[in-house]
Amino acid sequence: MTLQMTVSPDFPPAYIAGWYIFNTWLQRQSGLPIHLTLYDSFAAQRAVLAQGGIDLIYANPYDAAFLVRECGFVTLAAPCNRADEVVLAGTQTGPVNTIEDLAAGTVIARTDDPDVNLMGMMLLEPAALHAGNTTAITVDSYPLVAKQLLQGHAGIGFFLEEAFDSLSALVRGQLRELVRSRISVIRHVLLAGPGVRAQQVEHLTTLLLAMDQDDRGQAVLESMNLSGWEAHSQEDTEFMIDLMDTLDTQVLPG
């Protein structure tokens, strides 16, 4: 049986080729037939997940919660030293200098990246903002979030930290960073579905954890902009999901 692998659509487009190289590396190392399919949106990927069509996934933490708790996925590994963090930014010419300057009615520019949006809304709480007193504009990419800000259509933008730091100097120079999260424990994880046998899970995990120990493996990791894989126990993943569940609880004025 060919294992179907996919990657969360929020990875930087510059590393698409790297994931195909990784697919080839993993096939050769494991001896397992693995087919990589990339989806350009979370909705498209979730439709395939719902049909049980995915065996291996580099999952956004938000999707990981559903896959582990509801679909019986298990954790293979997590990327070393890479947590999902967010940046909330306004514009240099705008009136907002701190999060607390934002008021009810604020328009938020964002993508459909679920964990970024979850953390972003949490970081707006010091201004007593929530889904009920803000409006969201959802666009397809982080450069478009910046564009919404610079065109004056939104008062604040939610960015994945890596995407914010990858914006051109020209664009970043016009944006004002208001807050940058340091949560540390919310991260993407590589998961295996219930169709992957326990022996295969163990074998794949062993290969991944040793991947950075040879030149070829290191080159593949570099092509994905990763430094290596580290163990992430099922309990580590369960803990991350518990933590995200706490953030998903919007505390509205009583």
Partner 1 sequence: MDGYQTRIRYFDGHSRDALIREHEVPFPDGRLIVSRTDTCGIITHCNQAFVEMSGYPERELIGQPHSILRHPDMPRAAFQDLWETVQAGRIWHGHVKNLRKDGSCYWVLATVIPNVRHGRIAGYTSVRRKPARSRIHESIALYARLREAENP
132 near partner 1 (CB under 8 A)? no
251 binds partner 1 (CB under 8 A): yes
DSSP state of 53: -
Q: Does 247 bind partner 1 (CB under 8 A)?
A: yes
Residue among 171 and 247 whose Cβ is closer to partner 1? 247
d(CA 242, CA 249): 11
242 makes contact with partner 1 (CB under 8 A): yes
CB atoms within 10 A of CB 26: 20
Helix axes of 42-50 and 61-71: crossing angle, nearest 10 degrees: 10
Query: What is the DSSP annotation of 124-171?
Result: TGGGT--GGG-EEEE-SSHHHHHHHHHTTS-SEEEEEHHHHHHS-HHH
Is the Cβ of residue 5 or residue 116 nearer to partner 1 in the bound state? 116
Structural tokens at position 2: 């060919």
Q: What SS3 class is residue 115? A: helix
Position 103 contacts partner 1 (CB under 8 A) = no
Q: Taking the complex as a whole, how short is the minimal distance between the CB of residue 191 and partner 1, in angstroms? A: 18
Map the footprint of partner 1 across residues 198-237, applying CB under 8 A: 235
Asked if residue 165 binds partner 1 (CB under 8 A), the reply is no
Closer CB to partner 1, 146 or 178, in the complex? 178
Instruction: Specify the stretch interacting with partner 1 by CB under 8 A; choose among 9-17, 50-58, 105-113, 124-132.
Output: 124-132
Q: Does 105 bind partner 1 (CB under 8 A)?
A: no
The residues binding partner 1 (CB under 8 A) are 99-100, 122-123, 125-128, 179-185, 235, 238-239, 242-243, 245-247, 249, 251, 253-254
